[in-house]
Amino acid sequence: MSKKVEQSAVEAKTMRTNVLVGRYDHALDPKKRFTIPSEWRDAMGSPNYVYVMPDPSEKCLNLIPAAEMETRLQKLREKALFDPQCNRALQVIGANADQLTLDVQGRIRVRDKLLQFANLTTTVAMVGSVRMIKLWDPRALAPEDRIEQAALAEALKEVGF
């Protein structure tokens, strides 16, 4: 295989990264861990860690890939280091978020406080939201086998797809 073809394959693989779609339901194990699917770990660039924080408007958690968080942090680095308003906001975010290390099997353990917030007791519905993963109580979502066409149409319109 020529170097140019090899490089194109690498570029194509890179272009696919960071797109998180689909839904996976996973039981919490006895230690309250669950596995991030390997397809998503690959899409996130096989990270060593991810970030988790409560959603500000819904009773679910947001699992944010390290690369996505780094993009957000770059913007924050442009602000003054001792901006009081920014620092108060960042303190609130920091107090309610966790950086979680993935074990060799791709499992993470979310703090009890966050699990309780999202009512995650036995099963986690992991829903790809393109840039991040939403962690839901499966009972709060439509059944996996049902497509909500009106909601899809509205979502596509909202993002100009």
pLDDT digits (tens, 9 = 90+) for 42-51: 999 999 999 9
Number of domains in the chain: 1
* Dist CA 45 CA 41 (whole Å): 6
pLDDT at position 143? 77
User: Number of C-alpha atoms within 13 angstroms, CB side, residue 69?
Assistant: 19
Assigned token pair, 22: 């689909």
pTM here is: 0.81
pLDDT at position 151? 84
Question: Quick check: is 11 in a domain?
Answer: no
> 25, 26, 68: which is closest to 45 by C-alpha?
68
Q: 63-86 burial string, b = 16+ CB within 10 Å, else e?
A: bbbeebbeeeeeeeeeeeeeeeee
Are the CB atoms for 62 and 55 separated by under 8 Å? Answer: yes
Question: Quick check: is 30 in a domain?
Answer: yes
Question: Quick check: is 152 in a domain?
Answer: yes
pLDDT at position 106? 96
Q: Which of 20-24, 86-90, 137-141 has the lowest mean pLDDT?
A: 86-90
Question: Quick check: is 71 in a domain?
Answer: yes
* Dist CA 155 CA 161 (whole Å): 9
Are the CB atoms for 123 and 27 separated by under 8 Å? Answer: yes
Q: In angstroms, how far is CA 60 from the centroid of its own chain?
A: 11
Residue range of the domain that includes 136: 16-158
Assigned token pair, 75: 């913007």
CATH of the domain at 150: 3.40.1550.20
**Residue 105 has what DSSP assignment?**
T
pLDDT at position 37? 95
More confident residue, 154 or 63: 63
User: Number of C-alpha atoms within 13 angstroms, CB side, residue 14?
Assistant: 6
Question: Quick check: is 154 in a domain?
Answer: yes
Summarize the confidence of residues 127-131 as an average pLDDT: 94
Residue 132 has pLDDT above 90, yes or no: yes
